[in-house]
Structure 1
Amino acid sequence: MSLPVLDLSLFYSENRDEFLRDLRHAARDYGFFYLRGHGISEGYQQDMLTLARQFFALSQAEKMAVGMVNSPHFRGYTRQGGELTAGRADQREQFDTMNEGRAALDTEPAWRRLQGPNQWPESLPALKAGLLFWQDSLSAICERLMQAFALALGQPEDIFAALYRGEPFQHLKMIRYPGIGQAGQGVGAHKDAGLLTLVMQDKQSGLQVATSQGWLDAPPLPGTFVVNIGELLELASGGYLQATLHRVVSPPVGIERLSYAFFMGPRLDAAVPLLQLPAELSKQLAAVSVDPANPLFSHVGENVLKGRARSHLDVAARHYPDFCLSAGIKTTERV
């Protein structure tokens, strides 16, 4: 058993209907698939992994100078153990970027403060241009996939466009997993909250997807991205598309794992629509699965801020104490 492999170039060919059929199957039965034919060369992918190695090779002091705790916009470096999944510390270090922009003048509601500038290390000037262009490249792939999903669900091709056109919520993680063995939680089991996620892996395995038969490995396939459905796309499809639990197990002792995860979300000021599916698809609807301890909001900005605050308690305690109090999020200031 393995994840399906889809070729995005078929979306622009005479085999479009076959591609849309396979997309529906992959997204409904797995919630995950490999994507090739996306237009990004394997050489470019390797260049981005080299850039990641250069960043993580910086001294701890250089990385902590751009620590996320300094940013009310949840941008910057997080040391190993600094992010939580399901209340437990993830054993990875990472660097987060989002849409580059000015801080919002209007700070109410609280989610508007997610808008703002990224942090960039002075000693690696190539990082800014590299990651911002990479974000835009991955965002373009996601927009093409959203058009394909719309057609696969029997909708107009641009049905989702209002959610992301102009200013989609881009969120990129550059990640390093140290080799501590499978006893460590690289990333705990979770579902992604946005629309779509693209993951690029180096040569080291670790990503696993939950299935009815247990955890399924998603080993690296050269030149591909792993794509998975987010909870907001599941919500919009009425549960037809499946957001699936997944996790990352830590690599063996002495071996590191590098990856990029790009989360494509709607505009922060958007509300997620509920599509009316064709009758033949409506018959196959499943209930939308929601974690009662982490309920979804249809309003995007509030949902994103809640998720970020739960994962980064130090940032939440320093910059969002009132929001956390109202949302029932218990924070502990950590440095």
Structure 2
Amino acid sequence: MSDVFPVLDLRDADRGPEARAAFLDQLRSAIHEIGFFQLVGHGVEGADRLLELARDFFALPEAELEQLSILKSPHFRGYSEVGRERTQGTPDQRAQLDIGPEHETLVPGPDDPSYLWLAGPNQWPQSMPELRPAVIDWITELTQVSQRLLRLILASLDAPEDFLDPVVSPDPHVHFKLLHYPGRTRDSEHSDQGIGVHKDYGLLTLLLQDEHGGLQVSVNDGEFADVPVIPGAFVVNLGELLEVATRGYLRATTHRVVSPASGVNRYSAPFFFNPRLEATMQPLPTRFVREAAGVVHDPANPLSSSYGNNTMRGMLRAFPEVIARHHPELLQRQT
């Protein structure tokens, strides 16, 4: 099923009216029918270097990685060892470094929304000073690509291209991860679950993956298709907030990552383009949305039009140890 996922060339959007119209038709078909596509022609360089830095980071001594533990951060930033993050209650078999916009430490007041905890400082390894500038440059470039792609998505739906500018400007709450999926082991109860079945919280995800693949997308109920590896391409998928903004015309597609075979190490770098923390999504002014049937109703995953609330709900499930250590009051509200 390698032909399931369209390959779109971003340069086509600037190659004249006919090429742009064809590009927008391809884009609308991909985001409406599948929710995933591969993007080439984006102009972002340095992918090989970033994956090399990921390999170097996860090869650091465990004691140094533990100094960056996400358990030390009330802002959900830092290093997670294999099994720390959970999907649907099951430990994911991957290690990761979570990075967000650089902010000073902020302690929300008792009447402030809990999602303000998502803003705060990052944790960087002292022995790899080259990692921070490389990641910040990468985030800057992918933010620009994402902003352009979001405007093209709106154009493909006959909506004003700038309609979501107030939602993402001037301070989109982007999120970046370096990921390491170790090969399967016999003694791991959940060895096949690199990351379990899930949807992304925000607007857009741009994924850089290495040559090993492993990403699978739900194309029919219970049927998953492998996303092929295309050198230099970003795998792009839609998040839950675009499903909300289009009343279900666009879907946040379910996906997962299968752990690599024994002895194989997979590295990837997803970039999540999200609204401002306090932003609330409004329906796009277009006939595609007016005629849509509504978002998917899932009692186990009720969607919120508030980006901050939608994401904080996910953090409660994904990082229960961080919540218990730094935000026990949030657990009390759930009971």
Scaled by the length of structure 2, what TM-score is found?
Answer: 0.93
Shift, 1:251, TM fit: 0.3
Structure 2 match to 1:16: 20
Equivalent residue, structure 2, for 1:193: 201
1:205 maps to which residue? 213
Shift of 1:285: 2.4
Cα deviations by residue, 1:230-263 (Å, 9 ceiling, x for unpaired)? 0100110111111111000000000010000111
| Residue in 1 that maps onto 2:266 | 257
Partner Cα distance (1:317, 1:288) in 2? 31
Say which SS state the counterpart of residue 50 (structure 1) adopts: helix
Q: CA deviation at 1:283?
A: 7.7
Within 2, Cα distance between the matches of 1:74 and 1:325? 19
105 and 316 in structure 1: CA distance in 2 versus 1, 3 angstrom threshold: closer
Residue by residue over 1:132-186, the C-alpha shift from the partner in whole angstroms, topping out at 9 and shown as x without a partner, is 1111111111101110011111111101101111100110010000000695200
Tell me the CA shift for residue 106 of structure 1. Answer: 3.8
Q: Quick one: distance in 1 between partners of 2:114 and 2:295? A: 27
Equivalent residue of 2:177, what SS?
strand
Alignment partner of 1:226 out of 227, 235, 238 = 235
Q: Secondary structure at the match of 1:47?
A: helix
What is the Cα deviation at residue 69 of structure 1? Answer: 0.7
SS at match of 2:208: strand
Q: Which residue of 2 aligns with 1:149?
A: 153
**What's the counterpart of residue 61 of structure 1?**
63
Cα distance change on mapping 1:34 and 1:101 into 2, 3 Å: same
Provide the rounded CA distance (Å) in 2 between the counterparts of 1:115 and 1:230: 20
Worse-matched range after superposition: 92-101 or 108-117: 108-117
Q: Which amino acid aligns with 1:32?
A: F
- Pair 1:27-2:44 in alignment: no
Aligned counterparts of 2:125 and 2:44: Cα–Cα separation in 1: 26
* Cα distance between partner residues in 2 of 1:12 and 1:101: 36
Query: 2:179 is matched with which residue?
Result: 175
Provide the alpha-carbon RMSD of the alignment: 1.5
- How far has the Cα of 1:291 moved from its partner? 2.7
Structure 1 residues 166 and 283: CA distance shift in structure 2, 3 A: closer
Partners of 1:65 and 1:282 in 2: how far apart? 47
Q: Which moved more, 1:64-73 or 1:173-182?
A: 173-182
Q: TM (normalized to structure 1)? A: 0.93
**Partner of residue 288, structure 1:** 295
Structure 2 vs 1, CA of residues 187 and 105 (structure 1 numbering), >3 Å: closer, same or farther? closer
Letter in 1 for 2:271: F
Counterparts of 2:41 and 2:113 in 1: how far apart (Å)? Answer: 41
Whether the aligned pair in 1 keeps the contact of 2:246 and 2:289 (CA below 8 Å) is no
The equivalent of 1:113 in structure 2 is: 117
Alignment partner for residue 78 of structure 1, among 45, 66, 80? 80
2:259 maps to amino acid? S
1:139 correspondence with 2:152: no
**Which residue pairs with 2:284 in the alignment?**
275
Q: CA deviation at 1:284?
A: 6.0
What is the number of equivalent residue pairs in this alignment? 324
Write the mapping of 1:287-326 to structure 2, written as runs, cut at 5 A.
287-326=294-333
SS at match of 1:270: coil
User: Does the CA-based 8 Å contact 1:204-1:219 persist in structure 2?
Assistant: no
- Tell me which of 3, 6, 22 is aligned to 1:4: 6
Cross-structure match for 1:333: none
For residue 174 of structure 2, give the secondary structure of its aligned residue in structure 1.
strand
Identity %: 44
